A and B are shown apart, each in its own frame.
Chain A
Amino acid sequence: KAGVTQTPRYLIKTRGQQVTLSCSPISGHRSVSWYQQTPGQGLQFLFEYFSETQRNKGNFPGRFSGRQFSNSRSEMNVSTLELGDSALYLCASRKGSRRENTEAFFGQGTRLTVV
């Protein structure tokens, strides 16, 4: 069974540009969450999607957005990149609804460097 796949693994962008990251969850999983990992702030929740609907959102500016497709694949977009957006972005997938106490599986992440 394939795990959570994130593409690309590494990305270098210039300040002011925008970027789109992709996450393919484990087959059959409908919940996808995104996290930002930085040395200073640690792991912070960005947002969560379930059945194409954003169900929860963390405390990030509107430059960070996401969406989920009917096949559960998710994309995360960051516009007007800032140096501080340099981070490892992790995607996690879970099988079902909140009432199903299932564990989250993480991908290997996309390392974004903003120069």
Chain B
Amino acid sequence: GDSVTQMEGPVTLSEEAFLTINCTYTATGYPSLFWYVQYPGEGLQLLLKATKADDKGSNKGFEATYRKETTSFHLEKGSVQVSDSAVYFCALRGREDDKIIFGKGTRLHILP
């Protein structure tokens, strides 16, 4: 079945460092891909999305490109802030199904 694999955390960086969180997926067809963020005690917020190959999703300085050839959707940010500390989830949704498949999540700590 469909699945998402993302890098294990926690990831600890200093403020203004470059961030990459790797994500790869397995799916039939052409799924939509997402990054969600979860702040402590909160639900999930959609950070960005891409619905077809080579699409680039971007929001709040974060970016991810839908790479069909490598089945990847890595999250990047050029300069992280303390306020970016949260858990990040890579996810996919198939074309025929509303079910969202999530990765295990990556906890990010940004040190001032």
**CB distance A33 to B100 under 8 Å?**
yes
Inter-chain contacts of B96 with A (CB < 8 A): 98
In the complex, identify which listed stretch (A11-19, A66-74, A76-84, A102-110) lies at the interface while the others stay far away: A102-110
Interchain Cβ contacts within 8 Å, total number: 55
How does the 8 Å CB contact mask read for B68-112 relative to A, with 1 for contact and 0 for none? 000000000000000000000100010111111111110000000
**CB distance A55 to B98 under 8 Å?**
yes
How does the 8 Å CB contact mask read for A87-115 relative to B, with 1 for contact and 0 for none? 00010101000100101111111000000
**CB distance A56 to B98 under 8 Å?**
yes
Given contacts A42-B105, A43-B102, A101-B32, contact A56 B97 (CB under 8 A): yes
A6, A42, A55 — most chain B CB neighbours (10 Å): A42
Given contacts A56-B99, A58-B99, A94-B98, contact A43 B89 (CB under 8 A): yes
Categorize the interface residue count of chain B. Answer: 20 to 34
How does the 8 Å CB contact mask read for B50-65 relative to A, with 1 for contact and 0 for none? 0100000000000000
Given contacts A42-B105, A43-B89, A101-B32, contact A106 B44 (CB under 8 A): yes
In the complex, A42→B32 CA distance in Å?
20
Top 5 nearest A-B pairs (CB, nearest first) are: A43-B102, A106-B44, A106-B43, A108-B43, A45-B99
Ordered by A's residue number, 27 sampled pairs between the chains whose C-beta atoms are within 8 Å are A6-B43, A35-B102, A42-B104, A43-B105, A45-B99, A48-B98, A48-B99, A50-B98, A56-B97, A56-B99, A90-B43, A90-B44, A92-B44, A94-B98, A98-B96, A98-B97, A101-B51, A103-B34, A103-B46, A103-B49, A104-B93, A104-B100, A105-B46, A106-B44, A106-B45, A108-B42, A109-B42
